Amino acid sequence: MIEIVGIRYKRSGKIYDFDASGYELNINDKVVVESDFGLSIGTVVKTKTIIEAYDRPLKKIIRMATEEDFKAIEDNKKLEREAYTFCLERIQARGMQMKLICTEATIDRKRIIFYFTADGRIDFRELVKDLAAQFRTRIEMRQIGVRDSAKMLGGIGLCGREFCCSSFLSSFEPVAIKMAKDQELVLNVAKLSGVCGRLMCCLRYEFDGDIKEIPLEDEVVPIELDIPNDIKDEPITAILSSINKELPEEDDNENNKEDLSCKQDEIDMETTDEINEIEINEVKNKESRDKKIEKRHFKKRRHHRI
């Protein structure tokens, strides 16, 4: 028999199962556990359950968190700020195309983790050497997506509330433009995209259709529009612009274009007629002036003979 509790490292983070044999734990208790990065402090969010077997080996809870552990976390915050500042300076000095999001240090300071975003793959080997030489510990660089970045940094959404991802969502579920279309929402970039530049997670909340029918992708575009697969992971701006290009123009727009073209032709014809009239008048005026000058010359010659 195995006693299992659910532990979360961060607010709205994923819940991991740990072996709690020998501990009496309650909700919101702080414990020290060994994560993939090292020793960390977690919060109990699920009460103890007893099962006969588990599908994989479980890590055990090391101990209950003490005052020394909390003091170590406070001391690590200073180290994390120093690591963030130094790493940012080295990124700018080396001209690397990456955005540093945040840093984390384990309780025992055996590892410092740097989270960053970038458009493509980044060769950060020289940067890691600079960081390792400065802090004399193991350095780990983790590239994350724009949604994970928004989740870590937090903020206020268009609705005036805190981001769903940083307040209560523990994982990102697939969001599709089809959800917005079924809710008869306007395909407006400013309305549908969040601060992260992707489709807002709240589009799922009032979707009445079958979510299981939607492919499990980060951002899914409507299948009936036959959008190529290579743009499915692009931000909402690129997706909506591609959709607008694929959508056929309405008949009213075509009629308006025809009316405008006809009006333009009429204007061009009227302009041409006006120009021709001006040219004809100028020719007539010139001819009349020439005749008057010729008459004056004739009179002068005649007077001279007399």
Residue 100: what pLDDT?
A: 95
Q: Are 65 and 43 in contact (CB under 8 A)?
A: no
Which amino acid appears at position 261 of this protein? S
If one compares 123 and 297, the residue with the highest pLDDT of the two is: 123
Residues 20, 14: Cα–Cα separation, whole Å: 18
20-24, 41-45, 227-231, 292-296: least confident range: 227-231
Residues whose CB falls within 8 Å of the CB of residue 211, separated by 6 or more in sequence, listed in order: 173, 174, 204
As beta bridge partners, residue 63 has 32
- Categorize the per-residue pLDDT at 79 as very low, low, confident or very high, splitting at 50, 70 and 90: very high
For residue 266, how many other CB atoms are within 10 A of its CB?
A: 10
For the domain 70-144, what is the CATH code? 3.30.300
Whole-number Å distance between alpha carbons of 76 and 234: 37
Residue type, 218: D
Which residue would you say has higher pLDDT here, 30 or 183?
30
Q: Which of 78, 93, 14 is nearest to 46 (CA)?
A: 14
Q: What is the pLDDT of residue 67?
A: 92
Check residues 251 and 174 and name the one with the higher pLDDT: 174
- Hey, is 11 helix, strand or coil? coil
Closest CA to 182 of 203, 159, 213, 201: 203
pLDDT at 188 over 90: no
The answer to which of 7-11, 55-59, 300-304 has the lowest mean pLDDT is 300-304
* d(C-alpha 62, C-alpha 42), whole Å: 11
CA 262 to chain centre: 44
195 exposure class (CB count in 10 Å sphere: 0-12, 13-18, 19+): middle
| CA 149 to each of CA 88, 145, 187, 275, 305: distance values in angstroms, whole numbers, following the listed order | 16, 6, 25, 64, 106
Bridge partners, residue 3, by sequence: 50
The tens digit of pLDDT for each residue in 230-255 reads: 433 445 555 555 555 544 444 444 44
Domain ranges of the chain: 2-65, 70-144, 151-246
Helix (H, G, I), strand (E, B) or coil at 46: strand
